[in-house]
Amino acid sequence: MENKMPKDFFWGNSTSSMQTEGGWNEGGKGPSVYDVNTVGRSAKDWQVTNDNYHHYSQDLDLMKEMNMNMYRFQISWSRIVPDGDGEFNEEGIAFYNRLIDDLLARGIEPMICLYHFDMPLNLAEKYNGFLSRKVKEAFVRFGQEMMKRFADKVKYWIVFNEHNLYFADGFEHYSGVLKKELTLSDMYTVFHHTMLAHCELTQFLHENFEAKIGGMLATTEIYPATFSPKDNLYLRKFDEFYNRNLCDVYAFGHYSHEVMTYVKNQNIQMDFQKGDEEILKNGISDFISFSYYRSILLDASQLTENDAPNSYLTKGMKLNPLLEHNQWDWSIDPEGFRRILSRLYNEFGLPVFPIENGIGQSEIWDGKTKIADDLRISYHQKHLEAMKKAIFTDGVEVMGYLGWGLIDIPASSGAIDKRYGAVYVDSKSHKRIPKKSFHWFKNVFASNGDHLD
């Protein structure tokens, strides 16, 4: 008998506010770190993006036409609280209220993400973002208010996008830290503050609303570069710090014992205060969500015991010569996707939810011909086939599948040359033009994923 996908499966799209909305100085919004030239960012790339602030109804119509039944979007902290910690901006709240109502009217379930890297500028400049416990408290205040306003209508929540990025090199780019000389203690402090915020908001939601909330990882399947014991040892340690440490909190309410042993041995100061342990215990998630795009190799030959496990990939990352790569050297590895789905579910026992998946391509519309993005169709087809094997062969409980930026948005670099979407967005006119993959997605979603042709 042919396996049928679960009837309540979610199909949809994920975006961030800073890559989607624009309207950076409209509707009472305050500036974020992306709206000015901070840490190497060019503000002009972020102030308009694909102008969803003015075009969102058109985008929701396209999502409905594509047969999506979920949209994960981010509420911009600085649109709601312009200075990060002061008065709430009712005009900004009204914008998201309309967006939620318009989604529900189209039969599209909203999922809210509360933070996707765009720290209010005031809090970055004054306190160095999440390096400060005061900023953590300001964020919890913002998050609780959003739950009070919307959790009666929004049943699925994410606190931090790709939370483990705050626990690796480059953490400052995601957490609003403008300090120049950074230490390992700074990294661990930012991570601890954000994990406390996640757990406090998880407990608040559970105590007050009938809604579900998940933790989120940025996952990249990593294989040892060789058969050497060192490659395998260092890969295990990196996974413990980068992935399992977060999942231990999501599923069990505590940090990894190995990670905390390292903190003690290295005398890392992470602002762990009295009462924090109880906060972690009370913040167990309902599901584990993740992004997945590619796999890589870890070559430990240049690593030593003096290197922090959080930083192993900085020195040790290599590309897999056995896999096809796009022009940015991101591999195509659907088997890696299946491995992550199965491993997360088997090890932590929570439903899993891939909420970002896709492939970037360089595309230019000639004004007439439909863009034939066959590589994108092939990529998603193979990943959905791998997901179905995880569900039906490995027994994984998967909640849904959300592509990344299926209506074109700027990539994380700020440029729109790397496109993930099934809908092309002209960077000047903001005209939306469906690509070949739009019609493929439309048919796949209409069949609830039973037909991937």
Residue 84 near residue 122, CB atoms below 8 Å:
yes
Q: What is the DSSP letter of 419?
A: B
DSSP string, 105-128: HTT-EEEEEEESS--BHHHHHHH-
- For the beta carbon of residue 87, count every other beta carbon within 10 angstroms: 9
274 burial type by CB count under 10 A (0-12 exposed, 13-18 middle, 19+ buried): exposed
Distance of CA 382 to CAs 67, 152, 404, Å?
A: 20, 37, 16
Which candidate in 21, 162, 172, 221 is catalytic?
162
Phi/psi for 358 (5° steps) reads 170, 180
Q: Record the tokens describing residue 417, joined without a space.
A: 């040359």
SS3 228: coil
- Cβ atoms of 345 and 396 closer than 8 Å: yes
> With the CA atoms of 144, 145, 149 and 150 taken in that order, what torsion angle do they form, in degrees rounded to the nearest 10?
-40
Tokens read off for 172: 């400052």
Q: Active-site residue 162, yes or no?
A: yes
Residue 260 neighbours by CB under 8 Å, 6+ apart: none
**With b meaning 16 or more CB within 10 Å and e meaning fewer, what string describes 280-297?**
beebbbbbbbbbbbbbbb
- Measured distance CA(439)–CA(436) in Å, rounded: 6
Q: Which of 21, 200, 221, 356 is catalytic?
A: 356
Kindly give the residue spans of alpha helices, DSSP state H, lying in 85-243. Answer: 90-105, 121-127, 133-150, 172-175, 184-208, 229-239
Residues with active-site annotation:
162, 356
